[in-house]
């Protein structure tokens, strides 16, 4: 028998332990979202006595959405190893109809079948599920290559730039949290073309935690002692995650951002021996210089068909589907 319960505290995601392969699967991440990110958790939990599955959600108006923000590369349910995920998901989906008439889930991966399993579970529980691709994830599979072997396959223009500029730029890579290095990162970010940081306290706390765990890779590029470019990476479960990058205008002529990216690739490939580099979401053209594959991210809109508030949305979706067929 499967029991479904709801919780407003992230401590329910602590041990006995959900399987984790990325920062965004860990209880600590959801605790950060709640404490530093200012989000209010609504966690749906299904347990069959042996295994547990959790959907970390939150309310947004009258609908339920993922407990996530713009720092999250993806969102997916969490399950203990060996759990019957389809059955547990379907149990949650049946009960959630009493909590909301509309649930929107994104950005979902499907290389692990998360999007497919969720769509099937909600569909079997009586929801109408609308599925669409909503974003792109750029990745590199290292496939046993050394950094030099990887670099040999990059575009000639990139290799020429690195050959000409690398000696003019000094690079520091911090694997533990250093307040001075983080201050340099924040100053570079504030002076860059990037919009203002949404939750700087949350990001700093995340960097501190990753540094304490040995997962931080914070890179700073300098010229004549002046910080010009900064990048925030982490390494976990044989994957390097590229979270943030920025440079000031003066970095352009020296290609300081490019030199820094190359130095971090060399570090994670040759020293950390990662199997994959994940450049997050966003189909920015410059990512194709460094990465070799893309993976889609999906959005599921789950609607209760008997609720009149959903009828206009269902009608529009039906008309669009009919138009696409003709």
The pLDDT assigned to 34 comes to: 97
Query: Could you tell me the pTM of the whole model?
Result: 0.95
Task: Examine the domain organization and report whether 27 and 99 are in the same domain.
Answer: yes
| Same domain? 132 vs 147 | no
Residues 101 and 7 in one domain: yes
Domain match, 11 and 127 both = yes
CATH of the domain at 45: 3.40.630
In a domain, 282, yes or no: no
Same-domain status, 122 and 154: no
pLDDT given at position 168: 95
Which pLDDT score, from 0 to 100, does residue 231 have?
98
Phi and psi based region of residue 153 (left: phi greater than 0; alpha: psi -120 to 50; beta: remaining): alpha
Question: Do 156 and 261 belong together in one domain?
Answer: yes
Residues 115 and 36 in one domain: yes
In a domain, 290, yes or no: no
Tell me if 281 is assigned to some domain.
Answer: no
Q: Does residue 238 form part of some domain? A: yes
Q: Report pLDDT for 323.
A: 74
pLDDT digits (tens, 9 = 90+) for 189-210: 999 999 999 999 999 999 999 9
Is 19 among the domain residues? Answer: yes
Rg of the Cα atoms in the chain: 22
Q: What's the pLDDT at 20?
A: 85
Residue 153 resides in a domain: yes
Considering the domain architecture, whether residues 195 and 87 belong to the same structural domain is answered as no
Decide if 286 is inside a domain: no
Instruction: Give the model's pLDDT for residue 321.
Output: 75
What pLDDT score was predicted for residue 201? Answer: 96
Together in a domain, 86 and 39: yes
Low-confidence ranges of the chain (pLDDT < 50): none
CATH code at 182? 3.40.630.30
> How many domains in the chain?
2
CA distance 220 to 268: 15
- Do 156 and 216 reside in the same domain of the chain? yes
Whether 256 and 104 have beta carbons less than 8 Å apart is answered as no
For residue 315, the enclosing domain spans: 3-137+295-325
In this structure, the answer to whether residues 40 and 114 fall within a common structural domain is: yes
Q: Tell me if 279 is assigned to some domain.
A: no
pLDDT of residue 298: 98
């Amino acid at each position: 028998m499967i029991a479904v319960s709801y919780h407003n505290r992230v401590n329910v995601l602590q041990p006995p332990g959900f399987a984790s392969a990325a920062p965004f699967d860990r209880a600590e991440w959801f605790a950060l979202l709640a404490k530093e990110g200012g989000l209010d958790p609504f966690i749906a939990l299904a347990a069959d006595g042996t295994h547990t599955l959790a959907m970390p959600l939150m309310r947004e108006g009258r609908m339920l959405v993922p407990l996530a923000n713009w720092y999250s590369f993806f969102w997916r349910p969490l399950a203990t190893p060996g759990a019957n995920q389809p059955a547990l998901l379907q149990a949650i989906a049946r009960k959630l109809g009493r909590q909301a008439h509309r649930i929107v889930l994104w950005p979902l991966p499907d290389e692990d079948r998360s999007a497919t399993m969720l769509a099937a579970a909600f569909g079997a529980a009586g929801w109408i599920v609308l599925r669409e691709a909503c974003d792109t994830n750029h990745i590199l599979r290292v496939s046993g290559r050394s950094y030099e072997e990887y670099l040999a396959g990059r575009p000639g223009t990139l290799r020429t730039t690195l050959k000409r500029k690398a000696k003019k730029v000094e690079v520091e890579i911090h694997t533990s949290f250093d307040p001075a290095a983080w201050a340099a990162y924040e100053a570079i970010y504030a002076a860059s073309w990037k919009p203002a940081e949404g939750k700087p306290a949350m990001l700093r706390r995340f960097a501190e935690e990753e540094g304490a765990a040995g997962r931080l890779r914070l890179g700073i590029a300098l010229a004549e002692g002046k910080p010009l470019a900064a990048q925030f990476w982490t390494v976990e479960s044989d994957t390097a995650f590229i979270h943030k990058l920025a440079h000031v205008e003066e970095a352009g002529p020296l290609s300081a951002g490019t030199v820094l990216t190359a130095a971090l690739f060399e570090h994670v490939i040759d020293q950390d021996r990662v199997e994959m580099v994940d450049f997050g979401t966003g189909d920015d053209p410059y990512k194709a210089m460094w990465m070799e594959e893309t993976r889609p991210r999906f959005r599921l809109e789950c609607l209760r068909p008997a609720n009149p508030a959903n009828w206009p949305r269902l009608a529009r979706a039906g008309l669009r589907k009919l138009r696409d067929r003709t």
